[in-house]
């Protein structure tokens, strides 16, 4: 006997089932994807959503994430929401924060995440929880463009305190010293957050906030940093600075800039390990010697095993003039080198001229390589 199927009756049920399945995928944070996820890794305050095939990473880190939550909530005086969702995405290259949804998305599509996925996840989650707590403490006013640099800086300070890796913050002074040499730092420049950060959320963008807050802490106390964010909930930033540190914004700015410009980058510094630190592989000059009034191009190849070194924190400093140049990304897709364009002054005499290459990775490792380039006569 043949069984006759009534497609007209079955089709609506099939469509309803398909819609329910798609809805489940969207609820798991995967619109348009059939990749399986699990949201079943839960602690008292943290819900962790992770792709099923990497569930082991969630099981390994959920206890640490709960400990981090407790630290950040206590530090920000109970400002974290009762539950925080940490969503781990291998499709996203950057991390995101949705304060209204108490959600931190950790973007693992990043070279640094490939090198050490556990460490990367924990640091990104720690800084995300710090931001969430600081936004709660300031009634979200710390997220405004004019004070965003303080939010980013304080989030990194708290993340490093939690990780017992405050030594990593030392590299922020190196970054700021050379950034200021390229384009002078100021509170007004940092107030234009999108222009300054270029939309990035990284150690370079956080460095001015880190060094400014560390300067203020030296002048006052650690508690005053949190008082600053509390004060932001009711006052404008200049008034909040005055209330927290008993000093004007202009005076704090002057002290901060003096410390940056007096900083001396004299030697290598290792925050993680020599193996993880950047290593210079090759420097090529084009042409082989500079000519007065023309441009000399440096092509520099640096090996970065940990995947957390970016062109924005690779610098060239000319020793004679003190001029600082920032690295430029190559035009060729997939190229491993960066380059510098060094203008040779019209009055430059023939001879050898010293320079330094400086690389600062996101882990806080600093490497300095001295060199010299020749200048020929016209």
| CA distances to 153, 156, 200, 206 from 203, in Å | 9, 8, 9, 5
pLDDT in tens, 156-178: 999 999 998 877 899 999 999 99
Q: What is the mean pLDDT of the chain?
A: 88
- pLDDT at res. 7: 32
pLDDT in tens, 100-136: 999 999 999 988 898 889 999 999 999 999 999 999 9
- pLDDT at res. 37: 58
Q: Is the pLDDT of residue 284 over 70?
A: yes
Q: What percent of the chain has pLDDT above 70? A: 88
- pLDDT at res. 14: 37
Q: Is the pLDDT of residue 9 over 70?
A: no
- pLDDT at res. 18: 37
Q: How confident is the model at residue 331 (pLDDT cuts 50, 70, 90)?
A: low
- pLDDT at res. 5: 33
Q: How far apart are alpha carbons 175 and 312 in whole angstroms?
A: 9
The residue ranking higher by pLDDT, 293 or 25, is: 293
Q: What mean pLDDT is predicted for residues 57-80?
A: 97
Domain extents in the chain:
29-137, 166-264, 279-375
Name the CATH topology of 279-375.
Immunoglobulin-like (2.60.40)
Vertex 114: Cα angle to 111 and 120 (nearest 5): 90
Q: What percent of the chain has pLDDT above 90? A: 77
- pLDDT at res. 105: 96
Q: How confident is the model at residue 333 (pLDDT cuts 50, 70, 90)?
A: low
- Kindly report the three-state secondary structure assignment for every residue of the chain: CCCCCCHHHHHHHHHHHHHHHHHHHHHCCCCCCCCCEEEEEECCCEEEEEEHHHHHHHHHHHHHHHHHHHHHHHHCCCCCCCCEEEEEECCCCCCEEEHHHCEEEEECCCHHHHHCHHHHHHHHHHHHHHHHHHHHHCCCHHHCHHHHHHHHHHHHHHHHHHHCCHHHHHHHHHHHHHHHHHCCCCHHHHHCHHHHHCCCCCHHHHHHHHHHHHHHHHHCCHHHHHHHHHHHCCCCHHHHHHHHHCCCHHHHHHHHHHHHHHCCCCCCECCCCCCCCCEEEEEEEECCCECCCCEEEEEEEEECCCCCCCHHHEEEEECCCCCEEECECCCCCCCCEEEEEEECCCCCCCEEEEEEEEEECCCCCEEEEEEEEEECCC
Q: How far apart are alpha carbons 373 and 300 in whole angstroms?
A: 13
Q: What mean pLDDT is predicted for residues 4-14?
A: 36
Q: What pTM does this model have?
A: 0.87
Token digits of residue 49: 């959503």
Q: How far apart are alpha carbons 366 and 302 in whole angstroms?
A: 13
pLDDT in tens, 203-235: 999 999 999 999 999 999 889 999 999 999 999
- pLDDT at res. 276: 92
pLDDT in tens, 11-52: 334 333 433 334 444 444 433 333 455 667 999 999 999 998
Q: How far apart are alpha carbons 246 and 175 in whole angstroms?
A: 28
Name the CATH topology of 29-137.
Zincin-like (3.30.2010)
């Amino acid at each position: 006997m043949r069984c006759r199927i009534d497609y007209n009756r079955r089709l609506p049920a099939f469509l309803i089932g398909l819609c329910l399945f798609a809805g489940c995928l969207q609820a798991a944070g995967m619109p348009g994807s059939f990749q399986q996820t699990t949201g079943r890794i839960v602690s008292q305050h943290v819900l962790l959503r992770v792709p099923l095939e990497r569930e082991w990473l969630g099981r390994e880190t959920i206890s640490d994430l709960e400990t981090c939550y407790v630290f950040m909530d206590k530090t920000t005086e109970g400002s974290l929401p009762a539950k925080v969702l940490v969503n781990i995405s291998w499709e996203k290259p950057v991390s995101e924060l949705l304060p209204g949804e108490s959600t931190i998305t950790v973007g693992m599509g990043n070279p640094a995440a490939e090198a050490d996925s556990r460490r990367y996840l924990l640091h990104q989650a720690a800084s995300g929880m710090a931001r969430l707590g600081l936004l709660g403490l300031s009634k979200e006013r710390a997220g405004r463009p004019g004070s965003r640099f303080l939010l980013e800086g304080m989030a990194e300070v708290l993340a490093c305190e939690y990780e017992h890796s405050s030594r990593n913050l030392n590299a922020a002074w190196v970054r700021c010293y050379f950034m200021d040499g390229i384009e002078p730092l100021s509170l007004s420049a940092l107030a234009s957050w999108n222009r300054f950060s270029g939309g990035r959320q990284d150690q370079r963008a956080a460095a001015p906030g880190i060094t400014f807050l560390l300067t203020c802490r030296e002048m006052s106390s650690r508690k005053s940093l949190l008082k600053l964010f509390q004060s932001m909930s009711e006052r404008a930033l200049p008034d909040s600075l005055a209330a927290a540190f008993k000093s004007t914004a202009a005076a704090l700015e002057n002290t901060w800039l003096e410390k940056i410009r007096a900083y001396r980058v004299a030697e290598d510094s290792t925050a993680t390990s020599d193996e993880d630190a950047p290593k210079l592989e090759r420097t090529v000059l084009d042409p082989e010697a500079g000519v007065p009034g023309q441009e000399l191009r440096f092509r520099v190849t640096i090996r970065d095993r940990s995947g957390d070194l970016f062109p924005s924190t690779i610098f060239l400093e000319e020793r004679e003039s003190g001029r600082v140049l920032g690295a430029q990304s190559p035009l060729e897709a997939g190229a491993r080198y960066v380059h510098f364009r060094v203008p040779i002054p019209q009055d430059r005499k023939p001879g050898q001229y010293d320079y330094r290459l400086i690389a600062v990775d996101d882990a806080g490792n600093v490497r300095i390589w001295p060199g010299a380039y020749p200048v020929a006569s016209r």
